[in-house]
Structure 1
């Protein structure tokens, strides 16, 4: 998949010619798709080992078959590193196998570049591997750059978002694909490394975060960080390593108090220290990592063995022995994040006076916290994985993307996507208790448009926590918002100064464009009516007879309003219309 230009492939001309010849002869179709049960290629060993470890007892034949097809189709293609190209789809499938993805996803990962880069067609793939695999491969296949031109990148991402609406596994494959490309980014020229890394931080890492796949998000974050700013990455790595070396002394006294407190409350739990990833530390410190303390480089994680309610008992136990910092408790169990993440976060003061971050979750919450939507796939198993992932409609961020993406023109789509995926969220509520999640910095106007019932365009103000507020007021998590509307209200151009979400901005821009078109059509019609009146011709009668519409169609306009707007804009001359409607 060559999205954002990361393809690392070169081809031997004689191999390419041979593949084209086989395709013309009808031999390019899925070589090796029969009942071949010969021993698998040794190169498959890492993939099969991961598959057996996470999914013991499943039939490996489809993986072997998918690999053999991909290997033969990509034969002769090389990565920029000089390695055979098959090493890339094999690595992508191995990443996904280690996460516990289902067999169909792994087969699709092995085949994900065949339709784009070989004579193998999507129809042939569907016939050989079935609809499920074909849908996944099609979802991640890059659009033809020659056909789409400058719009190819934006339209490829639009295609991925649409495919994700049917099956989120498309995004998971895309993320694993990008992760492997980031791992091998050193073989690319510096300018291309920076471009790919920047795009990863702006678009792909946020997708990983929104799907809750922390294991991918952390590594992608750090690899992109290293490519964009090697010096800052090295400084962060050195500072974090030094801080982690002091973790036992810094965290030991706190852990020594927490253990007995949990046992006293009858809570069985495991307490461990979790290091933060480098880019997170760098961003939190604003790039200045000098003097980094252990409490800034790591957090305490408490995994509770019992039911979810024991997490709150554990929280009380922690607060009973370590002083809590006011205002720093976040309950993501009662109020899960957009990506369904559930945990309690609190900040306490250690016996030595340092503030410590403590995360508390049950063991049943842990897989979802680390693997997000992938945990659902793992639980569903092969037979139900597609239905499980396709049916997740509780991911609010995806619904929000889908609400506006189909109408966004190519030149605005990627900017809107970046804004929609920007880090940070606000959870505000309607007066009836419905939660609306919005990006950080969102306003009451964004809230109004998020209601998706026409409220946005009729807005005139808001009540925030019962108090009057302008539509430009920035919302905070926990705010209760009531949008005030008026029957004659309409969007104004200054709304674009404080609307944050891509959906709101798109709706406002479209409403303003419609309003301008209507004003222009009215002005053009008024000018034509007055000119025709001077020739004793009634425009209303000409419209009723169909004469005006016939003239509009003859000039290439589908509707009268388009003709009148063109007249106002000067692209249609008034004397020409008069000659047609009132000759002589």
Structure 2
């Protein structure tokens, strides 16, 4: 479908396409209209776009506009305004042309007759993979499982190409921006789902420029009264920010210069949802020092950041025990910085964040910054990164989880911050704040988890239920005879641990049911002078099972125990074998 290529394509009403040259006048008018619509997008990345990039984007927009023609948003705006806005968000983050093309086309396969096969033929495999990754599953086919299975599909697609998640996040951000056109009950539900699933993905990928806005928009729609109260409190607090931060930042600038450092010092307001999470109803009395932080961006390397920390402490009295070193030990989402709390000239406690100029883009854009630097957006560009181990863990357990369990597990796995816990060899395992020693055991592997019997935490014996803290050194004690129990489900806090425990318990239950059915058959065959053990050894049991439609004899025995298979019928078959 090459409507802006030398041979123009004209869509039929059924979504197919046939090659036909447009009249020169029509072709020129169409091209002018497309370029006018794309002008803001092209301007956003103008220095980076080649002529070929421009042609490809114009072509993608032309196809998307034609396919969505006649469709309207809830606001009454033409539907094409949505994919164009998504592409604009991604262009603002500096993403590549392929991603922008996929963004323009991301709803065509889901909402128009345009097929994935047509898209692949027209735009290539790379664009098709991205569009397919963000396309929702068919609601009629999947029913109540649609949401869970769609998220599972996105996770699997992101394992091959992380841009799938980035496009999905930009898509959700624009939908949140326009959520006011939906009825109130839908707004609240959509906002809650965003805060539980999509916002945590943005956090995990370190894309804070998206996370902050998604946070605040979802907050506004889920709890408009609390949002309004927080916004008003923030406005009052920031009105007095200059009195609190002005003298402090001036001291910092002088101290940094005195230490031979070139740095940019600024005051950054916190976003509303973060303030609400910290203060709740107490937000009415919010102080300026609680509404903003001081950001120091150093022109230098990591070592210069530590020198800057000394300069900050030389200028303003530090609070003991309030230094956090995320340079030596980055967060799970690649974030690096030094955090410290100091006392300002007026006695106010101030939060100061120190980053190098190289760290700052990663702190804002996360994985997107690494994708841009690597020149490729596939997961291979960041494979093996410790800070993306959460994605590997998610892939390790998702295939074994049922739809409902998958969504619940996903919410748990993504919720909150992660803490580093160490093995005795110094290897880092990232776990959520509520994790136990049992969660740590399963993070090391399912076999370690299944056979764990206890732990040594910082050298002291502890039960598997012991809750861990950041920086703990944990050694898991195992026993070949050890095995999970149902009580472990009350101990495990992480989805991987719970899924592995549930799978083991289900397997054990299946074995017990099979054994029960086998005992019934042994007893019944004994009356007929038939030796079941001999029948099993000669393959007769498996042959009978296969003849009855069971892949394994254990399944046949379990069916006998459950009553779905007649004992008389089975005995007759064995007696006649």
Smaller-chain TM-score bracket: over 0.9
Secondary structure of 1:221's counterpart equals: helix
For 1:152-176, what per-residue CA distance to the aligned partner results, in whole angstroms no more than 9, with x for missing partners? 1111111100000000000000000
Distance 1:59 1:538 in 2: 75
Q: Which runs of 5 or more residues in structure 2 are unaligned?
A: 1-9
Q: Does 1:85 align with 2:113?
A: no
Change (3 A) 1:558 1:193: same
> Is residue 222 from structure 1 mapped to residue 192 from structure 2 by the alignment?
no
CA contact (8 A) 2:160 2:379 kept: no
Q: Structure 1, residues 177-215: CA drift from partner, whole Å, max 9, x if none?
A: 000000000111111111110000000000001110000
Distance in 1 (CA, whole Å) between partners of 2:47 and 2:289 is: 35
Which residue is equivalent to 2:154?
Answer: 160
Rounded to whole Å, the distance in 2 between the matches of 1:46 and 1:438 is 42
Alignment check: 8 A CA contact 2:442 2:449 kept = yes
Quickly say closer, same or farther: Cα 1:393–1:141, change in 2 above 3 A. Answer: farther
Please name the residue that 1:194 is paired with: 188
1:131 aligns with 2:134: no
Match of residue 339 from structure 1: 333
Q: Does 1:542 align with 2:535?
A: yes
Paired residue secondary structure (1:181):
helix
User: 2:496 maps to what in 1?
Assistant: 503
Q: 1:322 is matched with which residue?
A: 316
- Asked whether 1:488 is paired with 2:481, we answer yes
1:563 to 2:565 alignment:
no
Q: Does 1:74 align with 2:68?
A: yes
> Which residue of the partner structure matches residue 210 of structure 1?
204
Cα distance, 1:411 vs. partner? 2.1
Aligned CA RMSD, in angstroms, stands at 2.3
Mapped to 2, the partners of 1:183 and 1:285 lie a distance apart of 25
Aligned 8 A contact 2:341 2:351 in 1: yes
Q: Aligned ranges for residues 401-480 of structure 1 at < 5 Å?
A: 401-452=394-445, 454-480=447-473
Q: Report the counterpart of residue 271 of structure 1 in structure 2.
A: 265
Q: Displacement, 1:424?
A: 1.5
- Distance in 1 (alpha carbons) for counterparts of 2:122 and 2:46: 24
The equivalent of 1:581 in structure 2 is 574
- Per-residue deviation, 1:502: 0.6
Which runs of 4 or more aligned residues in structure 1 lie more than 3 Å from their structure 2 counterparts after TM superposition?
A: 18-24, 26-32, 35-41, 53-59, 384-394
Is the contact made by 2:323 and 2:339 (CA closer than 8 Å) also made in structure 1? yes
Which whole-Å CA distance do the structure 1 matches of 2:86 and 2:21 have between them? 20
Residue in structure 1 matching 2:54, options 42, 60, 84: 60
Q: Deviations over 1:332-374 (max 9, x none)?
A: 1000111111001111122222211110000011100001111
Asked if the contact 2:485/2:505 (under 8 Å) is kept, the reply is: yes
Q: Which of residues 372, 375, 379 is equivalent to 2:373? A: 379
**Which of 12, 21, 24 is residue 13 of structure 2 equivalent to?**
21
Separation in 1, partners of 2:20, 2:371: 30
Task: Verify the 8 A CA contact 1:30 1:120 in the aligned structure 2.
Answer: no
Deviations 1:516-556, CA, capped at 9 Å, x for gaps = 11122122212221222222211111222333223322332
| 3-state SS, counterpart of residue 297 of structure 2 | strand
**TM-score after normalising by structure 2:** 0.93
Aligned match of 1:232: 226
> How many Å separate the matches in 1 of 2:22 and 2:564?
59
- Deviations for 1:2-39, whole angstroms, at most 9, x for unmatched residues? xxxxxxxxxxxxxxxx9773435x4499999xx98944
Q: Pick 1 or 2: higher relative contact order, CA cutoff 8 A, min separation 6.
A: 1
Q: 1:387 to 1:411 in 2, by over 3 A?
A: closer
Deviates more, 1:217-226 or 1:346-355: 346-355
1:97 aligns with 2:91: yes
Equivalenced residues, count: 562
Using the TM superposition, give the Cα deviation of residue 111 of structure 1 relative to its aligned residue in structure 2, in angstroms.
0.5
CA distance in 2, matches of 1:221, 1:460: 41
Structure 1 residue runs of 5 or longer lacking an equivalent are 1-17
